[in-house]
Amino acid sequence: MKLTGRIGIIGGTFNPIHLGHLMIAEMAQETYELDRVIFVPAYHPPHKHDDVIDAQYRYEMTAAAVMDNPKFTISDVEFKREGPSYTVDTIKYFRSQYGEDKEYYFIAGTDTIQDLPNWKYIHELLSLCHFIGAVRPDGSAAIEKIIEYFGDLGRERIHLLEVPLMQLSATDLRQRLRTKRSVRYMIPKAVVQYIAQHDIYKK
């Protein structure tokens, strides 16, 4: 198997992880021939926001979701830091782990790409990694404006990826779980089992 030296990273709250996340990671892996895609669950301070469950659960659900794909893996780098993480630090960490000679691609939905102008150290981050913006069916597809906002750096580093549109969000799925509606075929089977076993997303 030929290696390209390209590494994908997908960060998120993953509260819980769903097929929308896995699908954009798969499409990015295929299109950019990424050697691997690393899922990075974000740390979230306990009790800060009632709707985000403990990082340990989110980490274990994400691990269960990526287990059956040899190109997918998980990292605890943000969740172990136990404080707010800037993506720039996470990318620097992976660059030190896997090498400065590799190319790094941060995979995100277009709603995240829309928000990039507000990110801390965004210019430094754009010099360290590429962004793949997977179109999300929430009206946030106008990323050309964002690319133009960053000028040459944007044109070089931010890439729009057309993917099958999946109208899934963790917010809606939490609502379904709370009201005991089905999440089958929206959340991976192993994660549905994990949620039942750990009795989470009840309130």
Which residues would be at the binding site for ligand ATP (CB under 6 A)? Answer: 12-15, 20-21, 24, 108-109, 111-112, 134, 136, 166, 168-171
- Name the minimum Å distance from CB 2 to ligand ATP: 28
Q: Is the dihedral of CA 49, 53, 59, 63 positive or negative?
A: negative
Q: Distance (Å, rounded) from C-alpha 188 to C-alpha 183? A: 9
Phi and psi dihedrals of 151, rounded to 5?
60, -135
- Name the minimum Å distance from CB 176 to ligand ATP: 12
- Name the minimum Å distance from CB 194 to ligand ATP: 16
Residue number of the CB atom closest to ligand ATP: 109
* 24 vs 195 by CB, closer to ligand ATP: 24
Q: Per-residue DSSP letters for 77-100?
A: HHHHHTS---HHHHHHHHHHHH-T
Run of H or E including 174: helix 170-178
- Name the minimum Å distance from CB 45 to ligand ATP: 16
* 26 vs 111 by CB, closer to ligand ATP: 111
Q: Distance (Å, rounded) from C-alpha 22 to C-alpha 139? A: 20
Q: Per-residue DSSP letters for 55-71?
A: HHHHHHHHHHHHTT-TT
Count of Cβ atoms closer than 10 Å to residue 198 Cβ: 14
* 4 vs 171 by CB, closer to ligand ATP: 171
Q: Which two tokens stand for residue 150?
A: 């960053």
Task: Show the DSSP H helices in 82-165 as ranges.
Answer: 87-98, 110-114, 122-128, 144-149, 151-157
- Name the minimum Å distance from CB 143 to ligand ATP: 11
* 26 vs 89 by CB, closer to ligand ATP: 26
* 2 vs 91 by CB, closer to ligand ATP: 91
- Name the minimum Å distance from CB 1 to ligand ATP: 27
* 29 vs 112 by CB, closer to ligand ATP: 112
